[in-house]
């Protein structure tokens, strides 16, 4: 089993979602049901989860519309595994939301959890980032739940508080364990079937890498599960291991790293 150094890089946020996406990408269509897998393979790559996360970051950083940034980035980085309806939305002259409750709203929302400093703002902006495509109540709820978990984690909340807030505010059932759900877990791209297990992977984790391994081990939509879990784990554990960063960086288009750096200059990982 490939492992990594535990040293953290505490100066760059957004890497949790991207690292989870890259690690999970090799197992999206070749699922594993164990935590003992190679973190990085020749198939490890940045998919739509990473690209659209950075689109949301650009919108926040430069005060642009979520719709314009998401469409622009998807067009600029094609063939990244975009979903069917979203793949059509990308090319519309006047794209409108299509009542989706897919997990795309949750996989791209992590910048919201870092950039805003009140729960009300986080909830409002998470909804705004979702509704350009995912205006179904479940699509909105999924984005809000992930953003709130990140916000709480970066502000020092414990796992019990994050669990309680998620259950009470969003109604997700977080009572099962990963071992209980793993045997029957199936590939599912909805928020309802992605956000709760991703949260469970974080809640049961011992550190960042363990969180990613647990998310991927469910054998479902691995890149998105791991992107969501990684975005929360990064906020809670204070960064991403250096060994993981060294493997992820070459797999993301070089021009996007300047955006990550600029976002972090304004919204550093230790803010909040």
pLDDT in tens, 222-232: 999 999 999 99
Contacts of 64 (CB under 8 A, 6+ apart): 58
Chain centroid to CA 262: 19
What distances in angstroms separate CA 175 from CA 167, 178, 202, one per listed residue? 9, 10, 14
Contacts of 22 (CB under 8 A, 6+ apart): 40, 44, 45, 46, 50, 223, 247, 248, 251, 252
pLDDT in tens, 44-60: 999 999 999 999 999 99
Q: Give φ, ψ of 190 to 5 degrees.
A: -90, 155
Average pLDDT, the chain: 94
* Encoded tokens for 219: 């054998």
Cβ atoms of 51 and 79 within 8 Å: the answer is no
Q: Give φ, ψ of 248 to 5 degrees.
A: -80, -40
pTM of the model: 0.95
Q: How confident is the model at residue 1 (pLDDT cuts 50, 70, 90)?
A: very low
pLDDT in tens, 201-243: 999 999 999 999 999 999 999 999 999 999 999 999 999 999 9
| pLDDT at position 270 | 61
| pLDDT at position 12 | 83
∠ CA 270-105-33, nearest 5°, is 85
Is 185's pLDDT higher than 50?
yes
CATH architecture of 8-266: Orthogonal Bundle (1.10)
| pLDDT at position 8 | 44
């Amino acid at each position: 089993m490939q492992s990594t150094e535990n040293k953290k890089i505490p100066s760059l946020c957004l890497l949790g979602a991207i690292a989870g996406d890259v690690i999970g990408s090799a197992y999206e269509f070749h699922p594993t049901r164990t935590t003992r897998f190679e973190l990085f393979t020749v198939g490890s790559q940045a998919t739509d989860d990473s690209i659209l996360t950075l689109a949301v970051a650009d919108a926040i950083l430069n005060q642009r519309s979520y719709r314009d940034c998401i469409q622009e980035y998807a067009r600029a980085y094609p063939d990244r595994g975009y979903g069917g309806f979203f793949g059509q939305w990308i090319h519309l002259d006047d794209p409108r939301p299509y009542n989706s409750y897919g997990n795309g709203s949750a996989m791209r929302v992590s910048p919201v959890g870092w950039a805003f400093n009140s729960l009300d703002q986080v909830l409002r902006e998470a909804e705004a980032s979702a509704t350009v495509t995912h205006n179904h109540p479940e699509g909105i709820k999924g984005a809000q739940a992930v953003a709130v978990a990140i916000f709480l984690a970066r502000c020092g909340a414990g796992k019990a508080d994050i669990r309680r807030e998620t259950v009470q505010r969003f109604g997700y059932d977080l009572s099962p364990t990963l071992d209980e759900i793993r045997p029957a877990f199936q590939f599912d791209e909805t928020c309802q079937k992605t956000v709760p297990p991703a949260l469970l992977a974080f809640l049961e984790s011992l550190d960042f890498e363990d969180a990613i391994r647990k998310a991927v081990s469910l054998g479902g939509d691995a890149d998105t599960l791991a992107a969501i879990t990684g975005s929360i784990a990064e906020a809670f554990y204070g960064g991403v291991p250096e060994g993981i960063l060294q493997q992820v960086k070459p797999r993301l288009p070089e021009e996007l790293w300047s955006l990550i750096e600029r976002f972090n200059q304004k919204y550093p990982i230790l803010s909040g």
